[in-house]
Amino acid sequence: MKPARIARRWRALRNSLLALACATVITITGQPVGGVAEAAPAPPKLKPGKRCDEMYGVKNVPTGGLPQGDASRAVDRWDTYDYTNPGLQFDGLNPTRAELDAAGTDYKKYDHSDPRRIYARFNAQRRWTSFRDYLSKVYIPNQGYDARGKAFMAKVVREMGLTGPDWICEKEFNFVDPDTGERHVRRLDAYNKRSREIVEVKSNGSPDGREKPADRAWAKHQGWRSYKYTYVFAENQTRDAKNFMKELKDTAGKDALGRDRVRTYDYQSHHKGVPPKGTENGPYRANSTTMSPGNGASTGSRGSGNQVINQSPPNPRTLKEQLDRLGRTGERALMNRGLGGIDFTTLDLRYIGKGKGGKGLDYAFSAKSVEDEYAAGWGGQEKGDLISDAFFTWLALDPSTFWVNLNPDEPNRIIDAGFGRTDAGRVLLEADLELKHDIFKAMDPETEAGRAFMNALPQRNGFPCWAGFRYWIEPETAVVREQDGGIHILDTPLKLSTVPQETTTQPPGGKGCDLTEAETQQSDRVLDRYITPLVAEKVNNGDYYADLRRVYTARVAAEWVRQNAADMPAEYRGIINSNDVSRWPLRDPHRNWTGKQVWDRYYKAFTEGTFKYKWSNGEEVYVYTVGGVDFSRQPKSNMNPVRFRTEQRYKPRTVGYAVDTIADDPNKEGYLMFGGNSAGQSENGTPGPTPTGTASPTATPSPTATGKPTPTPSDPGPTASQSPAATTPPGPKDPDGGLADTGSSTPVGLIVGIAAVAIGAGGALVWWRRRRTHTGG
C-alpha cells in the first residue's frame, strides 16, 4: 500500500477515535445525547437596546452633559413626577374569608380588573397571612414598580439630555469577573460608546441587590477602564447605597484626570402613583379617617400620609418580620419609604388649609427619615390616630373643659368628664404626672445640678429648705405663618412655670421648714435656675412628652379652624362646640383608662414617698409634687413674608407635594412631609405661589400677662353656655398675612378656646421632708 494512502487511513482512524472520545465525555458530563453528540447551546443573544430618546418618546431635547463628580440637583429644581399604578384602584379591598376562599388559587383565570385575581394571588402565596399587609406591601407596589421606573427614566433622559444617536438604552453586556471568571449579563439603563459613559437610574435611593455582582465585575475589569459609571438616585441614598457606592469607587479607582470613575447624582424627584384613569373614585378605593370628620362631603381622607401611616406595623417585632419577608424576595426596594424609613415617634402635624380642589382640608405631617430600616418605622397608625383624634377633640369640646388637675386635696376634680374620655385628655394628665417624676430626678443631690440646687437653697440646721410650689407646662412663643388659605405650624415650644403653693394634705414626715417670704422667693428662684431648664429640655425634646407635643400642635391647627370657621367646610363647622366626642373616644390599649387611676398613683406617691435623697449628714430628703399642663396662653410670633421666604422658602411647595406624595423637606434636613386631603380628593394642582410684594413690618406679639398664677386654684371657668369661643368673633388678621397676635391676658385668635381653668386647676406642688436615719452619740 502506498505511504500516502496509509497516512490518509491513519488520519481517518484518529479522527474517529477523537469523535468517540468527545461523545463519551459529553455523555459522562450529563449533556443530552441521542446516539450522536450534540453541540453545547450557544449563549443567549444580548439585546442591542434602542436610542434613549426614541425609546422614551423624548423629542427636541439637545444632548446634555453629566456631572463630572458626585452631585446633587439644586433644591430649586426638586419636583414630582406621576406614573400610573393599576394596583391603586384596589387599595380599599377588604374581602371576607368566604370571598377569599371562593377565589381559589388560579389567578390567571380572572381578568386584571377583577378583584378575585388579587384574592387568588394572595391564596397562592404562603409568606403573608394578612390580606391587608399583602395588598399594601406587596401587590400594589409590585403593580406600579415597572411604570415608576420607566417614568423616572424618561424624566432623566429628557432633563439630563441623554439624547441623540450615541445614547442607547436597555443595551445588554457581559461583565466578566476577572477574579472568578463568572459571567454576568447586565442590562444598562443608558450607554454611550462615544463618550464612554454608563448611567444607572434608580427611582428610589437604593441599588438593586441582584445587579451588584455585575457592577462589581465591571469595576474590576481592565477592559472597561476608559468608562465612567454614574448612578442617578431619585431619593436620598440609603445606607446600603452609600456603602455600595464607596465600594465601587474604591474598586474602579480614578480616571486619567484623577476623578472617580464611579459617580452619584442625587436627583431628588418625588414619585406620585396615580390609579388608572376612570378609577380614581372607583368602588375599591380606600379612604381613611385621618384628619377627616367622616361625615358630609368629607367621607374619608386620602393621600400619601394615609398610605405611609397605614403601612406602618404596630411594633418593632412585626416590622422586622415584614422587612425580612420582603428582603428574601427582593421586594423591599419596591416599597415607599414608609416601611422602615420613617421614625414615627417624631410624627407631628405641620400644616392644614383649604383643599386645592375646593373640597375638604389639605394637611401635612412631618417626621424624621431614618436610614436603618429596622430602627424605626412602627407605630405610625397609633400616632396618626392620636393627632387626628386630638384635633377633633379640640374642635368638638367647649374650651372650658380643657383642664387637668392633680391635687391631693381634690380627688373629685381631676379632669372634665367629657375630656377624660379622650386620648387628648389622657395625654395631658399623664404628662402632668410624668412632670413630677422628672422634677424628682432633676433634684437628686447625687447629680451635679441637684447638688447645686440643694446648696443654693435656704438652710435650717445644715439642711436645705424650700417652699411647696406649683409647677406647670405652658406654651412658649410659637411661630406660625398663615397664607394661601392655610396655616404653616413652624415651631411650638413649651415652657415650665412655677409659683410657691401649699396643700392641706400632708406628705409623711410632718411639716417642713417655716420660711420667710424672702426665703420662699429665694427657693423659687433657685428652682428656676437649676431645675427648670433640665425639665424643660425633656418636655420639649424627650421621648415621653412627644405625645403632649403632638396634641398641642393639633390644638394650634384646630384653633385656626375655629378662628376661620366661616370659611371652613360645613362638616367642620358642625363639630365646633358640639360637645360630642363619641367618634374620637379613648383607643386601645387605653380604652379603660380613667383620670382617677392617675390621681390614685399620684396620691400614693405623695403620701407614701417615691424618691428618697440622702444628705451628707445621714438624713433622708423626701420630694413630692403635684402639677398641671396649661395651654391657656399661647404667645405667638407671626412670621412676616420676608422672613418666611428667607427661612422657609420651600415650605409651601413641599406642603403642596406632601398632599400627594412623600416629599423631602429642604427646610429641615433629614425630615419628610406627607399628608392628604380630608375629602378623599388628591388633586394634581400646583402649590400656591410664594408670596411676593413689599414686606410689611414684623408683627409684634401682644405682651403676655406678667406675674405668676395665684396659689389658690381658680374656679373651673365658664360653662358650655358661657364659652367665649361660641360668641367671640375671630381676631383681626395680621397685616402680613399671619394670624392675629396673641399672648395677652384676654386670649384671642388661636388661644380663644383654651380655658383659663388650666391655670388654676393644674400646677405642681413640691414638698421636702426629712427624718433621721441614725441617732447621734
What would the pLDDT profile of 593-614 be if each residue is shown by its tens digit?
A: 999 999 999 888 777 766 666 6
Is residue 305 pLDDT above 50, yes or no? yes
Between 756 and 373, where is the model more confident? 373
Residue 201: beta bridge partners? Answer: 232
What average pLDDT score do residues 72-82 get? Answer: 93
Between 445 and 625, where is the model more confident? 445
pLDDT, tens digit (0-9, with 9 covering 90-100), for 506-560: 655 545 577 888 888 888 889 899 999 999 999 999 999 999 999 999 999 998 9
pLDDT, tens digit (0-9, with 9 covering 90-100), for 179-203: 999 999 999 999 999 999 999 999 9
pLDDT, tens digit (0-9, with 9 covering 90-100), for 472-490: 888 787 789 998 889 999 9
pLDDT of residue 765: 39
The mean-pLDDT minimum among 19-23, 446-450, 595-599 falls in 19-23
Q: Taking the CB of residue 458, how many other CB atoms lie within 10 A of it?
A: 18
Q: What is the largest CA-CA distance in the chain?
A: 140
pLDDT of residue 698: 31
pLDDT of residue 345: 93
On whether the CB atoms of residues 280 and 247 are closer than 8 A, the answer is no
Type of residue at 766: V
Cell output for 719: 360653662
Type of residue at 161: G
State how far the Cα of 288 lies from the Cα of 309, in Å rounded to an integer. Answer: 10
Most confident of 29-38, 280-289, 475-484: 475-484
Q: How confident is the model at residue 637 (pLDDT cuts 50, 70, 90)?
A: low
Cell output for 77: 429644581
pLDDT, tens digit (0-9, with 9 covering 90-100), for 741-751: 222 222 222 32
pLDDT, tens digit (0-9, with 9 covering 90-100), for 369-401: 887 778 888 999 999 999 999 999 999 998 888
pLDDT of residue 239: 85
Q: State whether residue 83 is helix, strand or coil.
A: strand
Between 572 and 43, where is the model more confident? 572
Q: How confident is the model at residue 67 (pLDDT cuts 50, 70, 90)?
A: confident
pLDDT of residue 269: 94
What average pLDDT score do residues 79-96 get? Answer: 92
Mean pLDDT over each residue of the chain, to the nearest integer: 78
Residues whose CB is less than 8 angstroms from the CB of residue 611 and which lie 6 or more positions away in sequence, other chains included? 440, 441, 443, 444, 622, 623
Between 26 and 343, where is the model more confident? 343
Cell output for 406: 392633680
SS3 content of the chain, % helix, strand, coil (to 5): 35, 20, 45
Is residue 410 pLDDT above 90, yes or no? no
Tell me which DSSP letter residue 137 carries.
I
Q: State whether residue 639 is helix, strand or coil.
A: coil
Share of the chain above pLDDT 90, in %: 44
Between 592 and 701, where is the model more confident? 592
Q: Where are the extended beta strands (E) located within 130-227? A: 167-176, 183-192, 197-202
pLDDT of residue 614: 65
State how far the Cα of 238 lies from the Cα of 266, in Å rounded to an integer. Answer: 12
What average pLDDT score do residues 112-124 get? Answer: 94
Of 229, 232, 230, nearest in space to 268 by CA: 232
Q: How confident is the model at residue 636 (pLDDT cuts 50, 70, 90)?
A: low
Q: Taking the CB of residue 335, how many other CB atoms lie within 10 A of it?
A: 22
Sign of CA dihedral 527, 529, 535, 539: positive
**Chain CA centroid to CA 549, Å:** 15
What is the DSSP secondary-structure string of 364-405?
EEEEEE-S-TTTS---HHHHHHHHHHHHHHHHHS-GGG--B-
Q: State whether residue 107 is helix, strand or coil.
A: helix
pLDDT of residue 330: 57
pLDDT of residue 462: 72
Ramachandran angles phi, psi of 363, nearest 5°:
-145, 155
Is residue 48 pLDDT above 60, yes or no? yes
Cell output for 757: 381653668
Residue 229: beta bridge partners? Answer: 198, 262
State how far the Cα of 407 lies from the Cα of 765, in Å rounded to an integer. Answer: 8
Q: Work out the angle between the directed axes of helices 423-443 and 532-541 (0-180°, nearest 10).
A: 140
Q: How confident is the model at residue 209 (pLDDT cuts 50, 70, 90)?
A: confident
What average pLDDT score do residues 668-682 get? Answer: 85
What average pLDDT score do residues 224-247 get? Answer: 93
CA angle, 558 as apex, 552 and 563 as ends, to 5°?
A: 130
Share of the chain above pLDDT 70, in %: 75
State how far the Cα of 102 lies from the Cα of 92, in Å rounded to an integer. Answer: 19
CA angle, 310 as apex, 309 and 314 as ends, to 5°?
A: 85
Is residue 83 pLDDT above 70, yes or no? yes
Is residue 178 pLDDT above 70, yes or no? yes
Residue 589, preceding bond cis, omega within 30 degrees? yes
Between 703 and 625, where is the model more confident? 625
Is residue 762 pLDDT above 90, yes or no? no
Q: Kindly give the pairing relationship between strand 71-72 and strand 183-192.
A: unpaired
Q: How confident is the model at residue 649 (pLDDT cuts 50, 70, 90)?
A: confident
State how far the Cα of 305 lies from the Cα of 342, in Å rounded to an integer. Answer: 11
| Integer angstrom CA distances of residue 537 from 366, 389, 545 | 21, 26, 10
State how far the Cα of 588 lies from the Cα of 595, in Å rounded to an integer. Answer: 16
Is residue 294 pLDDT above 70, yes or no? yes
The mean-pLDDT minimum among 87-91, 552-556, 627-631, 733-737 falls in 733-737
Most confident of 1-5, 256-260, 432-436, 754-758: 256-260
pLDDT of residue 638: 64
State how far the Cα of 723 lies from the Cα of 398, in Å rounded to an integer. Answer: 7
Residue in the block written with cell 472597561: 224
pLDDT of residue 43: 64
What average pLDDT score do residues 706-731 get? Answer: 29
On whether the CB atoms of residues 535 and 472 are closer than 8 A, the answer is no
pLDDT of residue 640: 72
Is residue 103 pLDDT above 80, yes or no? yes
pLDDT of residue 506: 64
Between 207 and 716, where is the model more confident? 207
On whether the CB atoms of residues 750 and 556 are closer than 8 A, the answer is yes
pLDDT of residue 516: 85
Residue 747, preceding bond cis, omega within 30 degrees? no
Between 772 and 26, where is the model more confident? 772
State how far the Cα of 635 lies from the Cα of 617, in Å rounded to an integer. Answer: 46
